[in-house]
Amino acid sequence: MPEVKKNLDKKTNSFVQGAKPSQIISLNKEFKKIDNIVLLTVGEPDFNTPEHIKKAAIADIQANDSHYGPSSGTPELLQSVADFLKNHYHLNYDPATEIVNTLGVTEGICDTMKTILNPGDELIVPEPTFPVYAAAASAFGGKIVPVSTEESGFILTAEKLKQVLLAHPQAKAIVLTTPGNPTGVAYNEKQIQALVNVLKNHDIFVISDEIYSELTYDRPHSSFAAALPGQTILFNGVSKSHAMTGYRLGIIAGPQSIISQIAVIHQLITTALPDVVMAAATEAFSAGENDAATMRVEYKKRRDYLIDAFTKLDISFAYPDGAFYFFFKIPDYLEQDGFKLARQIAEEAKVGLTPGVAFGQAGYLRLSYAASLDQIKIAVNRLSEFFSKQKQA
Ligand code: PLP
């Protein structure tokens, strides 16, 4: 049999560096089998897709909209995205040439890496972060430059960025995620401007994943695309804001020169998205103004409960401005290997958590609060009991 590809990662037997996304999925599968476990592992809203969006999807099916649609997205969808980005974040994109839809942001990440990276090109990845960027970049021959952000509250500072760019002057792109996964930390206007003041003097793309932009709890979202439109490739979508992970719709917005190239890769891979998905997403972007607002109120309650509970437990954590993740430090009296500890907690305390190391940050655990407050309270009680037993042991 011929070899699939050279340079297999010895640990995972895959050519994808680290192959961390699949580690998270397999851990979750393992935990699901444990009786009576409270699973706080997945990054997926626990709400149903809003009724008006489901109705739009059903109406589209009944209208026999079942043909190959336009690859970049229907004009209605692209217009609704342009209006959404303008009304919510003051961003100006031409729907016909500066926006393309993809099969979730995940496909958008792959398309973008395939489009911008030549083999050996460097991608700066502040960590911890969503592992798909590095996995996709490495699958297409890119070289990852990981940068730790732990010491500055999981925010990349301008000073650190300058140092990294000095050491890697040829880096092709940097990925920034705000609000972040796994930390929930979001960049404010000042922090964005400080980074942009550095980035604007470099020939580098800014890949800004803002998929959690609708889920911020203390202040409105600030966008890198607003501060540096000429270099920014912006990701957003309906998975998190409208509880539509299974519909698979993401969008990329950016300068025409790059969007037109990404659109070619997208067309090669998917031909076009399902018509019903485009119809549902058009409804979400154009008439789903209040959908995220309702969820935001719930998520904020849960987040505030967790902040209070972990403060009382005297466990330090990243301050979660947005998204639905709570990222806390593993106390020194516990097992320090994240995967071992997550398995021990799942078996003994019956709470499913994800090790921070799966996102590039050892010494932390991620708790997803995309679960009911009742479930979260049960989990916190169990964790608190587990922690005090371990402390005494
Ligand atoms: N980007 C980030 C930062 C995420 O956390 C996730 C999902 O967890 C995604 C993208 C995936 O988005 P989609 O469902 O649109 O593929």
The string of pLDDT tens digits covering residues 239-267 is 999 999 999 999 999 999 999 999 999 99
Per CATH, the homologous superfamily of domain 20-48+291-392 is Aspartate Aminotransferase, domain 1 (3.90.1150.10)
Q: What is the pLDDT of residues 347-390, one digit of tens each?
A: 999 999 999 999 999 999 999 999 999 999 999 999 999 999 99
Q: What is the pLDDT of residues 215-237, one digit of tens each?
A: 999 999 999 999 999 999 999 99
Ligand 1 atom closest to the Cα of residue 43 is 8
Ligand 1 within 6 A of 213 CB? no
Average pLDDT for residues 282-301, to the nearest whole number?
95
Q: What is the pLDDT of residue 24?
A: 82
pLDDT, one tens digit per residue, over 172-205 is 999 999 999 999 999 999 999 999 999 999 999 9
Question: Would you place residue 8 in the very low, low, confident or very high pLDDT band (cuts 50, 70, 90)?
Answer: low
Where in the chain do CATH 3.40.640.10 domains reside?
67-288
Q: How distant, in Å, are the alpha carbons of 23, 123, 175, 283, 356 from that of 11?
A: 12, 22, 25, 44, 19
Q: Give the mean pLDDT of 102-130.
A: 97
pLDDT band at 12 (very low <50, low <70, confident <90, very high): low
Q: What pLDDT, in 10s, does the model give residues 38-48?
A: 999 989 999 99
Q: Report the run of H or E that residue 122 belongs to, with start and end.
A: strand 122-127
Strands (E), 238-321: 250-253
Evaluate whether 371 touches 38 at the Cβ level (below 8 Å): yes
CB of 239 sitting under 6 A from ligand 1: yes
Is the CB of 207 inside a 6 Å radius of any atom of ligand 1?
no
User: Ligand 1 centre from 355 Cα, in Å?
Assistant: 18
- The whole-number pLDDT of residue 3 equals 73
Helix (H) or strand (E) holding 46: none
Average pLDDT, the chain: 95
Looking at residue 21, its pLDDT comes to 61
Per DSSP, the three-state class of 98 is coil
Identify the weakest region by mean pLDDT among 19-23, 37-41, 314-318. Answer: 19-23
pTM, rounded to two decimals: 0.96
Give the residue-averaged pLDDT of 315-340: 97
Chosen CATH of 67-288 out of 3.40.640.10, 3.90.1170.50, 3.10.180.10, 3.40.50.300: 3.40.640.10
- Judge if the beta carbon of residue 209 lies within 6 A of ligand 1: yes
- Measured in angstroms, how far is the CA atom of residue 17 from the centroid of ligand 1? 19
Q: 179 CA to middle of ligand 1, Å?
A: 11
18 pLDDT exceeds 60? no
| Cα-to-chain-centroid distance, residue 267 | 23
d(CA 160, CA 163): 5
In this structure, the residue with its CA closest to atom 10 of ligand 1 is: 105
* 211 Cβ inside 6 Å of ligand 1: yes
CA–centroid distance, 386 to ligand 1, in Å, is 31
CB 369 within 8 A of CB 378: no
Task: Evaluate: CB of 208 within 6 angstroms of ligand 1.
Answer: no
In b/e form, how buried is each residue of 248-279, taking b as 16+ CB within 10 angstroms?
Answer: bbbbbbbbeebbebbbebbeeebebbbbbbbb
What value, to the nearest 5°, has the Cα angle with vertex 178 and ends 176 and 182? Answer: 90
The ipTM is 0.99
Strand (E) or helix (H) holding 380: helix 373-392
Residue 182, ligand 1, Cβ within 6 A: no
Which one of 181, 285, 324 would you pick to mutate in the ligand 1 pocket, going by the greatest count of ligand atoms within 8 A of its CB? 181
- pLDDT score, position 321: 98
Q: Does the beta carbon of 236 lie inside 6 Å of ligand 1?
A: no
Which residues in the chain are classed under CATH 3.90.1150.10?
20-48+291-392
Residue type present at position 291: D
pLDDT at 13 over 80: no
